[in-house]
Amino acid sequence: MSITSLFSTGLKPVNLGLDMFAEDLTAQGVAPVRMDWTPPGGGDPEIIAALGRLERPELAERIDAANEEAVSRVLAAQPFLEGFGQAIDTVPGMTRRTILHAGPPISWERMSGPMKGAVTGALVFEGLAKDLDEAGELAGSGEITFSPCHEHQSVGSMAGVTSASMWVHKVTNRTHGNTAYTNLSEQLSKILRFGANDQSVIDRLNWMRDVFGPILAGAMELNEGGLDLRLLLSQALHMGDEAHNRNVAGTTLLIQALAPYILETDFTTKEKREVFDFVASSDYFSGPTWMVTAKAAMDAAAGIEDSTVVTAMCRNGVDFGIRVSGTGDQWFTGPAQQVIGPMFAGYTEADSGLDMGDSAITETFGIGGFAMAAAPAIVALVGGTVQEAMGYSRTMNAITTTNNPNVTIPALDFMGVPTGIDVRKIIETGILPLINTAIAHKDPGIGMIGAGIVHPPLEAFQQAIVTLADTIGA
């Protein structure tokens, strides 16, 4: 707009800075667009310099193109549930003595209480130790291989502990051909993935291994077409889920899709009934399914040269780790944060373990906290209002590359979920991704004690921007 045409157009100002100027404009009847601005990179000169290098027009153009490619792969991905298998037979690199865990790499010694609880429980479950004490010794003996789920095309919720005989989803992205895995929901409360490991936990895992997994696997063998998970996910959001902490609708949709095939398997009616009862015992059954859906989509966007799109966010209860498309498999980490939210009766913040799990893959994809506006029923988790939930989803637009037209939020006029977190935008805006998540007790053996929201540590993104500037700007 030229200067003279400004003179004949209504003035529509943006106020960046002193609020009093915005108030004066409002008093004159010209309400400005208001900003909640902070200096980029937290004002750290090294970080601003790295951002500045990436903002040079020729680099910015290359990065934008690479990010466009990355998000177009995410949007085009079609994750289909193809079946279920035991980890030892399906997950790449799995051995009898391998324990996969959530988050970036971590040694047994540094693991958090709940993750240690899950590891020892899994070793007992696998018959590698006769009890938890022996399991603890074995875990520290060097004979067990610990490895992040993410390094095995997998994701695991909370502790993410996955052992050889556990059953996992097999999800293939039919557009790009990559496959991803995740284990089955143990449902809620006193369960292995929250670090609980008593006999009731082991009994449930045994039942899942012997009945639940085989029935689901048998059902999917009868379903030759597979299940279009993106479609189900999209419907779930329209029904009020954000598909991380609230999975009521998604669980119903998923079991509805599986039910006809479950009925046709050769298992007994009693066993089938147990499966339906188990699924109905918690809304969380479909939670891992959306995680692996997101993983299958995000893996397709990994390893694109010059791209600053985040392809994974995960935590192990000690460290928060991210991966960025343009830097491949490299981890950038910072300290895992405390999750803030309401607790189950009788627990306080002092009991809570730090942020844990690969479930933030949902936010990486654009659901979960990013789709908070789709799930007004859970805004109480953040002690907030529906309006604020709308604001959270809109705010995530500021740090993402695009909106996913296949997964939309009705209340925001069917805005697609914000997709393709851009490290540059996080550094520039100081806005951190919003993650909806659960809270595990800090000690092994207890389990889930609450839920809430958490943000990643800025340090992980600061490391990433410096490495990106060195790589892309070299």
Partner 1 sequence: MTRYIDIRKNTYLDSVSLMSMSTKANAVEGVTQALLGMATPMNKEVLANVGVHDPAIDAARPSDLMIVIDAADDLVEDAIQAVNDILARKSRGAGDTAEVRYRTLDGAFSEVPDSNLVLISVNGAFAAREARKALVAGKHVMIFSDNVSVEDEIELKSLAHDKGLLLMGPDCGTAIINGTGLAFSNAVRRGSIGIVGASGTGSQEISVRVHDFGGGVSQLIGTGGRDLSAEVGGLMMVDAIEALAADPETEVIVVVSKPPAEEVAEKVLGVLGATGKPAVVCFLGSPRTESGHANVQLVSGTKPAALAAVLATGVDESTLDLHALNLPLIEEVRAKLAPEQRYVRGLFCGGTLCDEAMFAALATFDNVYSNIQKDPSYVLGAADPSKEHTFLDMGDDDFTDGRPHPMIDPSLRLQRLVQEADDPEVGVIAMDFILGFGSHEDPVGVTIPAIEEAKAKAAARGQHLEILGYVLGTDLDTPAIADQVAQLEAAGVTIASSSTNLGLLAREFVAKGDH
Map the footprint of partner 1 across residues 414-443, applying CB under 8 A.
425, 428-431
How many of the chain's residues bind partner 1 (CB under 8 A)?
63
**Which one-letter DSSP state was computed for residue 439?**
E
The nearest distance, CB 415 to partner 1, in angstroms, is: 11
The answer to whether residue 21 forms part of the interface with partner 1 (CB under 8 A) is: yes
List, in order, residues 6 or more apart from 155 with CB less than 8 Å away.
102, 149, 180, 181, 182, 288, 291, 292, 294, 295, 314, 358, 359, 361
Both tokens of residue 180? Answer: 């991803």
For residues 303 and 342, which CB has a smaller minimum distance to partner 1 in the complex? 342
Using the contact rule CB under 8 A, the part of the chain among 34-42, 136-144, 208-216, 298-306 near partner 1 is 34-42
Specify the residue, 255 or 432, whose C-beta has the smaller distance to partner 1. 432
Q: Tell me the closest approach of the beta carbon of residue 33 to partner 1, in angstroms.
A: 5
Could you report how far apart the first and last alpha carbons of the chain are, in Å? 37
CA dist 246 → 240, 300, 436 (Å)? 8, 26, 9
Residue 366 CB, shortest distance to partner 1, in Å, is 17
Residue 277 sits in the site that holds partner 1 (CB under 8 A): no
The residue (of 261 and 347) whose beta carbon lies closer to partner 1 is 347
- Spatial CA neighbour of 305 closest among 72, 180, 468: 468
CB atoms within 10 A of CB 371: 34
Q: Which is nearer to partner 1, 171 or 399 (CB)?
A: 399
For residues 370 and 433, the answer to whether their CB atoms sit within 8 Å is: yes
Residue given tokens 């997964």 in the structure block: 407
Measuring CA to CA, which residue among 118, 115, 148, 374 is closest to residue 239? 374
**In the range 305-344, which residues lie near partner 1 by CB under 8 A?**
341-344
The verdict on 15 binding partner 1 (CB under 8 A) reads yes
The CA distances from residue 172 to 219, 226, 270, in Å, are 17, 9, 31
**Cα separation of 79 and 228, whole Å?**
7
Residue 6 interacting with partner 1 (CB under 8 A): yes
Instruction: Identify the residue among 88, 279, 397, 420 touching partner 1 (CB under 8 A).
Output: 397
Confirm if 421 and 404 have CB atoms less than 8 A apart.
Answer: no
- DSSP 8-state code for residue 340: B
Binding positions for partner 1, 364-393, rule CB under 8 A:
377-378, 380-381, 383, 385-388, 390-391
Examine residue 18 and tell whether it contacts partner 1 (CB under 8 A): yes
User: Is the CB of 13 or the CB of 328 nearer to partner 1?
Assistant: 13
* DSSP run (H or E) holding 26: helix 19-27
Measured CA distances, 320 to 118, 152, 395, 451 (Å): 19, 18, 22, 18
Q: Which of residues 36-55 bind partner 1 (CB under 8 A)?
A: 36-40
Work out which of 76, 398, 411, 458 binds partner 1, going by CB under 8 A: 398
Min dist CB 90 to partner 1, Å, is: 32
- Contacts with partner 1 by CB under 8 A lie at 1-4, 6-7, 9-18, 20-21, 24-25, 27-28, 30, 32-40, 189, 245-246, 341-346, 377-378, 380-381, 383, 385-388, 390-391, 394-395, 397-398, 425, 428-431, 450-451
